[in-house]
Structure 1
Amino acid sequence: METKGGKKKSSSNISNNNKNINNSHIQYEAPLGYIIEDVRPNGGIEKFRSAAYSNVSYEKRLEITFTEPPMFTDPNGLGCRALTRSQLDSILEPACCTIVAHLSNTEFDSYFIYLPFKNHSYVLSESSLFIYPLKIILKTCGTTKLLLSIPQILKLAESLSLGVDSVKYSRGTFIFQNSQPAPHRNFSEEVAFLNMFFKNGHAYVLGDLNSPSRNWHVYVANVGPRKLTNRMDGITLEMCMTGLKREKTAVFFKKLGEDSYKMTKMSGISEIIPSHEICDFEFEPCGYSMNGIDGTTYSTVHVTPEDGFSYASYEAMGLDLGFVGLEPLIKRVLMCFEPAEFSVAITCHGGSQGDIFADVDGYSCDSCVKQDLPSGGYIVYRCFTVAADAEKGRAVRSAANSDSKAADHSDSKMVAHCRKESAEAATAFCCVGSCLA
C-alpha cells in the first residue's frame, strides 16, 4: 500500500528493483491534503458491509469521442490530454469524485478516482478515468452522479476546439436502485438528461424480459457526420460477474496480509493480458482495483469480494482480435473469479464478428441479444450461469471441450422483444432478447 504522505509504484509489470519506465508514469497522491491513512476506512468487515460505499455493483460508464480540431489550433495533437489537473478535477467534482493516482504512456492517461462521503471521510472508489486525445471515458460505481460531469466536459472540449463526434453511456441494472441520486434514479431519467446535451440519441435495454435484474442499459448518440470508413476503436469488452468463488475472492482480503501487487499475481489478473502495464490498489479491509495499459488499449478490473454480494467487473477497450482472441480472453478472466453468473457486453465498430458468438465452457447461456447501432457496428449482450455439471466444483473447464460445447448449441436461436420506455422530454427505445436452444 501507499506510505504516509508518499508516493508508490504498484504494478505487476514493474519489478521492485527500480526498473526504468520509458514512456509511462505511475503516481499516487493523498487527496485534498489528507494523508494516505485518512483515505482508508477503519474497522472490520461488518462496518465495511454496513457503510454507504458498500453499494458497489454495476458501474456507470460514459464515453465521449471528439472530432479533430484544426491543425493550427492543436499542432501537437494533444487534444483532451492538454487538460490540466485542475480542469480534470472540475470535471469530476459534479460527479462527487476526484483523482487519487494515475498511470500514463505516450498514447493516453488513466486515473484512479475516489468518492467523498457526507461524514468527510474518504475511501478509494472502484472508479476510473481515461483520457485520450479525442476521447474521454469515465467509469464510476456506487452513487456517483456521473452524468453531471457532462456540462463541464463539453465546456472544456469547446475551449480546445473539440466538437462532439459520438457518445455512449452504459450500465447494468442497479442493485440498489433506490439509493441512486438524480439524474440516475431510473434509465428514463438518464436518457432525458443525455438528450439535453446530445442529438440523435438512441436508448436500448438489452436482456431477458424475465430477468430484469440482468439487463444492460445503453445510450448512444452519433452527433458528428457519419463516417463511411470503419472506426479504429477495435472491440470493447465489458464483463460483470457475481457470486464469485470463495477461494478466488479470498485473495482480495487485506487481512491475509497481501498487497495489491501480490493480489494481481495470485489472482491471475496479471496474466489476462500479460503485455499490459498495471497500476493496482488494494482496499481496507478488502477489495481491489487495477488499470492496465498497452499502446492505445486499456483494461480495468474492480473487485468487491464480500461473501453474499461478491462482484467483479472487467473491461478492455481497443482490443485487436487479431492479437487477442476474445474467447481465450474471457476464459482467462473467468479463471480469476469463477463466478456463478456473469454477463458480457461486446461493442464492435465494424469488421468481422470473429468469435464474438462463441460459447463459454462450463456455463450455459441464459439470454442473448444483438443490437445494431445507428452509426454502424453493433452490441452483443449475453448472460451466463454456471452449468449444472460444473456447479459443485465451480470451475471453468478446459478449452479442449469448447468445440463440443459449441456444437451442442449450434442450433441456438435469438428471439428479440421490443418495448417502449417513455421519459419526459425523451423516448427510450428498448430492445430485449433471449437465447433459446
Structure 2
Amino acid sequence: MESKGGKKSSSGNFMYEAPLGYKIEDVRPAGGIKKFQSAAYSNVRTEPTELRPQAILIFLHMQFAGYEKRFEITFSDAPVFEDPCGRGLHALSREQIDSFLDLAHCTIVSQLSNKDFDSYVLSESSLFVYPHKVVLKTCGTTKLLLAIPRILELAAELSLPVLSVKYSRGTFIFPGAQPAPHRSFSEEVSVLNGFFGGLKSGGNAYVIGDAFNSKKKWHVYYATEEPEQPMVTLEMCMTGLDVKKAAVFFKNSADGCCSSAKEMTKLSGISEIIPEMEICDFEFDPCGYSMNGVFGPAASTIHVTPEEGFSYASYEAMNFNPSSLVYSDVIERVLAGFSPSDFSVAVTIFGGHGFAKSWAKGADINSYMCDDLVEQELPGGGLLMYQSFTAVAPGTVSPRSTLEMDGWSSDGMETAANSDEMCIYWDAEKKVAKKDVDA
C-alpha cells in the first residue's frame, strides 16, 4: 500500500511493524494480524486459580467486543500567516500520528490517501485525517480518549483552535473488560468535559434508544464553539450476523481455502455499497476484516468480527453528498452483505432537513421491524436521528468461533443502571425525548 495517493496493492503484501501489544511472531504479512492480545474481552467467569494458564487464554480469546468508540474533532482555520498553504493537519508526519495512536493502543496497518484526506486502517478500526478534522475509531479495549491530549498538543503546534467535538459509541458487550477511562459513559463524559466543556455550547451528553433494552443504546457527547458546516454522517452497528455471510470473513474456510481481503470485499458485496469508492481492505488472522473507502472528501469504513456468539459488523459513511445517495438504499445494500438479526443506525445531520434530503427521515427496511426512533437536537443546529431494528423472522446463529466455547450473553452488557448516567429515551406514547438521571 503506497501512501499519499499511491495505488493500493494487496493487503497481504503490505509490510508493517508489530502493533503495540503484539509480538512480532503475531504479525503475518501474508495473513493479517492475529486478533488476540489487544482486543476487548469479557472478564473470566471462573476463578483464575481454578484454570490452567492456557484455559485462561482460551476464555479471553473467545470474547471479542467489536463495538467501536468514535471520536471526531474539528478545528478552525489557522491564521493565514501561520499556515499560508492551508495544509492544516496534513502537515503532521507519520511519527506524529503514531504518537497519539500509541496512546490509544492501536497502530496503522494500511493506508490510502487522496488530495482531500488520508485514511488509515488500524489494528483496531480506522483513522481519517483531513486538513481540519480527525476521526479516530477504535474497538476492543483501546483507550481512545487517552489520545486526546496529544491530538490537542499537535493541533496547537499548528495554531488550529478547536471548533467542535463529537464522541459516540454503542453499548459495550463486555463493559467489565473496558479500561479507564472507558469503564462507564459517566467516566468518559467527565474526561471529555475536562477538555471541551469550555466550548460555547458546553458539554452535552445523551444516552438514547430503548429504555427497556440495554443492548440498544446509543451514547453521544457533543460540544461546539459555533454552528457546523452542512454534513451528514451515518453510523451503523449490526449484531447476530447470518452464518454464511459472516463465514466470508474467516481467512481459512472449512474446505481449506484461504481468502484474501480483496476476495472478502467482493464476495460480501461491500464493493457495491457505494461503487464509486476506492477501497483499502485488510483481513485478520484467523478471522475479521476492516476496510476504508475514499471518494473525494467522502469516506466509508467497515469492520467485521464474525465469531459465533458475538458476531458484529459496523458501517460508516461521512462527508458525502446526501442528494446523491438514498438513505434506505444504502442501508439495504449494507444489510445484504451481513443479514444481521439486529442493527441500529445513527444519522447525524448538520445543515437542516433540506440539505439532508432522504437522510432526515426514518427508514422502513424490508424484513425488519423498527423497535424505536429517536430524534435528538444537538447544539449548533445539529440533529441526531437514531433507529434500531430487529429481524422479523428469527435468524440463525453466527458461524463457528475460532474456539469451540459458549459465547456472550446479554447479561454482561452495559446498562444505564450500572453506569449511573443520563438517559434520553423514546416515549412511544408521547413521542418526545425525555431525560432521566439514574439514582
* TM band (smaller chain): 0.7 to 0.9
Residues 45-97 of structure 1, C-alpha deviations (whole Å, 9 max, x = no match):
x9997445842221000000000011121122111111111111111111111
Find the counterpart in structure 1 of residue 130 from structure 2. 132
1:86 maps to a residue whose letter is E
Contact 1:24/1:106 (<8 A) preserved: no
Say if 2:15 is the partner of 1:29. Answer: yes
Query: What SS does the aligned partner of 2:81 have?
Result: coil
Question: Which residue is equivalent to 1:409?
Answer: none
Alignment length, in residue pairs? 371
Question: Cα 1:88–1:53, aligned 2, differ >3 Å: closer, same or farther?
Answer: farther
Question: Which runs of structure 1 show a deviation greater than 6 angstroms over 4 or more consecutive aligned residues?
Answer: 46-49, 419-423
Q: Does 1:333 align with 2:326?
A: no
How much does 1:434 deviate?
5.1
Counterpart secondary structure, 2:276: coil
**CA positional deviation for 1:266:** 0.6
* Separation (CA, whole Å) in 1 of partners of 2:75 and 2:167: 15
- Name the structure 1 match of 2:234: 237
Aligned-residue sequence identity (percent) comes to: 50
Give the AA of the match of 1:246: V
| Corresponding residue number in structure 2 for 1:202 | 204
Distance 1:320 1:301 in 2: 19
CA spacing shift, 1:112–1:23, aligned 2, 3 Å: closer
Alignment of 1:83-98 (within 5 A): 83-98=92-107
For 2:373 and 2:60, the matched residues in 1 are separated by: 35
> Cα gap change, 1:32/1:363 in structure 2, threshold over 3 Å: closer, same or farther?
closer
- Alignment correspondent of 2:388: 383
CA distance in 2, matches of 1:235, 1:25: 28
Distance (whole Å) between structure 1 residues aligned to residue 379 and residue 113 of structure 2: 33
**What are the residue-to-residue correspondences of 1:179-328 with 2, within 5 Å?**
179-199=177-197, 200-222=202-224, 224=225, 226-227=226-227, 231-232=229-230, 234-256=231-253, 257-328=258-329
From the superposition, tell whether residues 252 and 42 of structure 1 become closer, same or farther in structure 2 (CA, over 3 Å).
closer
Contact 1:345–1:381 (CA under 8 A) maintained in structure 2: yes
Q: Indicate conservation of the 8 Å contact 1:366/1:435, yes or no.
A: no
Q: 1:22 to 1:274 in 2, by over 3 A?
A: farther
Q: How far apart in 2 are the matches of 1:241 and 1:95?
A: 24
Query: Distance in 2 between the 1:337 and 1:435 partners?
Result: 29
Question: Are the counterparts in 1 of residues 238 and 314 from structure 2 also a CA contact under 8 Å?
Answer: yes
The one-letter code sitting in structure 1 at the alignment partner of 2:15 is E
How big is each residue's C-alpha offset from its partner over 1:86-127, in whole Å with a ceiling of 9 and x where there is no partner?
11111111111122221100000011222xxxxxxxxxx3x1
Give matches, 1:355-434, under 5 Å: 355=358, 356-388=361-393, 391=394, 429-433=422-426
1:253/1:49 Cα in 2 relative to 1: closer, same or farther (>3 Å)? farther
Q: Secondary structure at the match of 2:97?
A: helix
User: Structure 1: which amino acid aligns with 2:379?
Assistant: P
Greater shift, 92-101 or 47-56, is seen at 47-56
Corresponding residue of 1:354: 357
Hey, what's the Cα distance between the residues in 2 that align with 1:189 and 1:162? 27
Read off the aligned partner of 2:120 and give its amino acid letter: Y
8 Å contact 2:105–2:143 — kept in the other structure? yes
Task: Name the CA distance, whole Å, in 1 between partners of 2:316 and 2:392.
Answer: 24
Give SS of 2:352's match: coil
Separation in 2, partners of 1:42, 1:165: 36
Offset of residue 130 of structure 1? 0.4
Cα distance, 1:422–1:47 mapped onto 2, change above 3 Å: closer
Give the match's secondary structure for 2:380. coil
SS at match of 1:252: coil
Instruction: Say if 1:366 and 1:434 are closer, same or farther in 2 by CA, change over 3 A.
Output: farther
Q: What residue number does 1:18 align with?
A: none
Q: Does the Cα contact within 8 Å between 1:346 and 1:381 map onto a contact in 2? A: yes
Taking structure 1 as reference, are residues 325 and 48 closer, same or farther at Cα in structure 2, changes over 3 Å only?
farther
Structure 1 residues 315 and 26: CA distance shift in structure 2, 3 A: same
Q: CA deviation at 1:41?
A: 3.1
Q: TM-score scaled by structure 2?
A: 0.79
CA contact (8 A) 1:369 1:435 kept: no
Q: Which residue of 2 aligns with 1:155?
A: 153
- Measured in 1, the distance between the counterparts of 2:4 and 2:136 equals 26
**Residues 1:52 and 1:375: Cα distance change in structure 2 (over 3 Å):** farther
Q: Quick check: 1:95–1:146 contact (8 Å CA) kept in 2? A: yes
Residue 435 of structure 1: how far off its partner (Å): 5.0
SS in 1 for 2:323: coil
More moved, 301-310 vs 131-140: 301-310
RMSD: 2.8
What is the SS of the residue equivalent to 2:28? Answer: helix
Partner of 1:399: none
Change (3 A) 1:92 1:171: same
CA distance in 2, matches of 1:47, 1:260: 30
Counterpart Cα distance in 2 of 1:334 and 1:392? 13
Asked whether the 8 Å contact 1:369–1:434 carries over to 2, the reply is no
Determine the C-alpha separation between the residues in 1 that align with 2:242 and 2:419: 39
SS at match of 2:316: strand
Q: Give ranges in structure 2 of 5+ residues lacking alignment.
A: 37-54, 398-415, 432-439
Q: C-alpha offsets along residues 362-389 of structure 1, whole Å, 9 cap, x if unaligned?
A: 100111111000111210111100114x
Gaps of 5+ in 1: 1-7, 10-20, 115-124, 395-418
Q: Distance in 2 between matches of 1:67 and 1:249?
A: 41
Instruction: Quote the Cα distance in structure 2 between the aligned partners of 1:420 and 1:392.
Output: 29
